[in-house]
Structure 1
């Protein structure tokens, strides 16, 4: 009997309990699509049991094809089945599949993962209904809500983790990484008792919980939805509703979410909607592909063919996949996959598809925030806004009162030209702040940036609201995601910080450590949401050749955390600052006051204050030069609350006597962080 209580805020997902569902809006195929169902035996051979045609839904639900599993001939016994859909002689994966399986017919080989590959979907038939399950038949539960209060956005510290690259290995030729990470391995980074999968041989992980020790409270996984390539980034999303087969099962992802929820950490996931490698794109003969996708070169007069916020009419790029078509509606009365009701206007097939998989991930994996990839290449701000609004609607619906805390959810866009108009128009909540990366790289070498003098380079670095951008500026720190490094190394000075130092003649590890410490002080005390790229917290380095035309291809080496004393010390230094950033009230407000610029040293020593008034301040004093201050002290005038007792220097965890407040010396490339705030105070 069908469930009486809908599980999802999308009718098409609830229908999948009762039917095999094939949604083909905007086309009328000459012959009905068909379902192919069977099982794999112990020897890996597929036994086909059924090939049967779908029936169209009633006339008010045009484009929807249904097949009741209880009407199949021969009938199905309770059990786990593999299946495909077939249309016009083309066999494809169910576009809405919750689980796909590459474990048969040679599909587990990386070289077999060609774009045309269509793996089977997996489903469990039980009690006359269809139930989502992992490949082994396990029916995963939804994650539990966080057991502790998660951080507000203004105290968030994100950790960008490329799941599939968290441990490296090579094939027989020594040039292909084959030891990919998994959801279970990421769980081991938070839980010392979790065995992990490929991390069993990594002492630093096996005997500890690195990310729990680091103290981050937002985990951003690079695309966790299934992509066909193995041992790659996952930006070739093919099966939007299914966790990536190589990263693990839905159950293992839920286990990871439960672990981090118990620590007050939210899961953010990366979503790729500019282009896809999905099965709709394979249905070229039937016309279904053209409903969902666009060939930009073939439609030069269609505004949907062009990137947003670019000059010169730059065409959208499918990067080997197919660009999603966003300016497209279905004519006539059509099925609305969300409400289940027939509607006569504004059914956008691609919009509906993407909002459906958003519903799946928000409902089944407790997503606490999103990072939308390549917004310019998506090209349609109306869609982006609709997607963001849907995310917020789903987030609010999870609250018992129908409205979640608005300070504890973010939809972030990646568009490196920083179109802040998207924030002003409500299309996004935040943007990646690429200017921050470029500025921090400049100041770590004592250089100016983008026409500003050094003082203003630093001012714009420590307060993103000072940066004048196309369309205005950031108005709040939660709108800007700041980072020293990211997975995207395409371009000038964007490699790992360790290698950036080497490239600029800084080769002594003590000097590299100095620049890294300074960079993290800036990152974790500036206005904006700090994001740490995996491995930078202990100054990981690139072991393979660096090709700046591509994304980061070198796996994170967590074993390095315990190599050499300086890396361990850097990790502890960063963890100390993360604790301050996530708890100290002064770092959760926008207030910033630069009160000292030492002109006698070319402005290369500066002091500024975060917070103030009723909020006990944090003061940062930084030396951006090769020379330490002479003598036993260095006087900083205008120090706030100088006569208040209880000042301490955070990075060294030491008390500062009142007579030394505002008078301590600085080494070259050193920053000191002071506060009289008591750590026991709650945010």
Structure 2
């Protein structure tokens, strides 16, 4: 009798579905008795079937009572596409049919009849508050938000979207030791703030000599005017910078010019627009609820912003792996710079000392992620960490092949300003960190997080007599001297956009993360163009002469006269400079007498191995026992 009743129920449901189809509505997979498992081929987000005319849609949402798929394919009906729950109660799914594969459909999930969220795996979203400020030049034919049909951010699906045709296959990534990265914020690089306008400046970057561009976060973040460290959707490129195809083309064109592309990505935290945050959120407490599969209710460390991911949870690890795999395969990127990587910990800390201390669990998390990335692409793919943890922990990660950010801003800026007490920047050398080789220490003078060195030179520079660091020309020449030392240190380097032109607008203008003036007119100013040319020269020297990767180094960077000495075989290079604001005498053992070739200067003949010379303030030289290629 039970079997007969069951068959009657099944036939009744099938008949109802057929009637809906005859009425012109989109049918769904009939709801069968029991708790069906997940269909084969399903994955997080959307899988297209039958040439894009059907879509299998899933949502990971344990513990929810009901979930419905609502959208333009069913007139936003809460009852048209109820989703089925897998036996473990974790995943909700439904198949929708009769789609036009060329049409973009907006959709959301209706959860427990009271929460509308977009798909965490969306590759495109529509924002009712911010999309209207995106111009057609940046994003042509942007789909209109379904006003009056729903509220909140919606996802977009399309069964057969246009596919980008890649042109530059087989790109050979630069060796880590020769890596010169240009950190770039699309918003503040050109007035048009898009990938196409940035491409128009590619000749400028090629002439500078950089061989990698690090894009500050480009996945969807809250608002339009952002640095991108407030992420909400991890699979969708932010439309304020352009289309998916425009980003793919940007990466493709960079590869065609010998430039790797590295994505800055934020997986320490997420912000309130994230569906994953919204699905499990305690509104009364204003934080993720205790049953969130991904987020801590309270951050584990003192530097968190937004909502803190729990990287010891299997759900978070799965999500992170899906994110990195997607960008590696869909966009053919060459590396990641992981923001606030030190935050990937469940070890509670309340101050910087405890936060930075050796953390075995954090190391295990990073080893797992790094090994996963290697399993996808082990061809010199760059994994760069903004870690700033104890040197013993960083050494373990460096030994695994990861690159560690090394901030020289404070000490090198003290040197350029002419204040010598704290001007020792010998922390630039890998051996001081206990690393086995220089290629894992990524040095920089400036990044998006630091005050511009030129701003401090002009505002706070030292002076003596007629020599004044606050003078623009003087300050720029001191920046040139600092760059000569930076690129003499073995290992990869990074420069922050317009550093090479002496950009002096404070980080706090228009608010720390606010828009900054774009000063391409700097190129027309002789002193600034000279700094650009000097950077290009130092970068070329580094890339063309292996002595700059030598681990045989001597240096003294503590006093007024600083020097770096590099030896490789029969060749030795010495960089020497006076960072004081008064003349000082250099007394340095070069190691041998005879002719020394000065880069950009005359041949120096030493009667002995000692270099003894009075250097004017700001005067520097690069000498080589064997003439260098430039």
TM-score of the two chains, using structure 1 as the length reference: 0.71
1:160 equivalent in structure 2: 183
Say which of 415, 436, 440 aligns to 1:475. 436
Structural RMSD (CA): 3.4
Q: Does 1:499 align with 2:462?
A: no
Kindly provide the CA deviation profile for residues 554-585 of structure 1, in whole angstroms up to 9, marking residues without a partner as x: 52624133242101111111111111122210
CA distance in structure 2 between the aligned counterparts of 1:65 and 1:143, rounded to whole angstroms: 39
2:581 equivalent in structure 1: 626
Q: CA 1:432–1:106 in structure 2 vs 1: closer, same or farther (change >3 Å)?
A: closer
Paired residue total: 536
Contact 2:409 2:453 in 1 (8 A): no
Cα drift, residue 521 of structure 1: 0.9
Kindly provide the CA deviation profile for residues 484-509 of structure 1, in whole angstroms up to 9, marking residues without a partner as x: 111113xxxxx111111022143211
Q: Does 1:394 align with 2:390?
A: no
Q: CA 1:575–1:680 in structure 2 vs 1: closer, same or farther (change >3 Å)?
A: closer
Q: Does 1:605 align with 2:561?
A: yes
Q: Does 1:514 align with 2:477?
A: yes
2:95 equivalent in structure 1: 68
Partner secondary structure for residue 528 of structure 1: coil
CA distance in structure 2 between the aligned counterparts of 1:50 and 1:188, rounded to whole angstroms: 47
Partner secondary structure for residue 233 of structure 2: strand
CA distance in structure 1 between the aligned counterparts of 2:612 and 2:414, rounded to whole angstroms: 27
CA distance in structure 1 between the aligned counterparts of 2:336 and 2:460, rounded to whole angstroms: 35
2:312 equivalent in structure 1: 327
- The structure that has the greater radius of gyration is 2
Structure 2, unpaired ranges of 5+ = 1-40, 50-54, 135-144, 283-288, 347-361, 462-468
Partner secondary structure for residue 343 of structure 2: helix
Determine which structure has greater relative contact order: mean sequence separation of CA pairs < 8 Å that are 6+ residues apart, divided by chain length: 1
Contact 1:183 1:252 in 2 (8 A): yes
1:121 equivalent in structure 2: 155
Structure 1, unpaired ranges of 5+ = 1-9, 40-46, 127-132, 168-178, 191-208, 297-304, 308-313, 329-347, 397-403, 468-472, 490-494
Say which of 179, 185, 204 aligns to 2:197. 185
The range that moved more, 500-509 or 150-159, is: 500-509
Contact 2:211 2:259 in 1 (8 A): yes
Cα drift, residue 122 of structure 1: 2.2
2:534 equivalent in structure 1: 573
1:279 equivalent in structure 2: 275
1:299 equivalent in structure 2: none
CA distance in structure 2 between the aligned counterparts of 1:641 and 1:365, rounded to whole angstroms: 51
CA distance in structure 1 between the aligned counterparts of 2:507 and 2:554, rounded to whole angstroms: 43
Cα drift, residue 418 of structure 1: 4.9
For 1:39-438, what aligned pairs fall within 5 Å after superposition?
A: 52-53=80-81, 55-56=83-84, 59=87, 63-70=90-97, 76=100, 78-88=102-112, 89-102=114-127, 107-109=131-133, 118-126=152-160, 133=161, 138-141=162-165, 144-147=168-171, 149-167=172-190, 181-190=193-202, 209-277=203-271, 278-284=274-280, 290-296=292-298, 305-307=299-301, 314=302, 317=304, 319=305, 321-328=306-313, 348-380=314-346, 381=362, 382-396=364-378, 404=379, 408-425=380-397, 429-434=402-407, 436-438=408-410
TM-score of the two chains, using structure 2 as the length reference: 0.76
Cα drift, residue 603 of structure 1: 4.7
Contact 1:487 1:552 in 2 (8 A): no
Cα drift, residue 150 of structure 1: 2.8
Partner secondary structure for residue 393 of structure 1: helix
Partner secondary structure for residue 235 of structure 2: strand
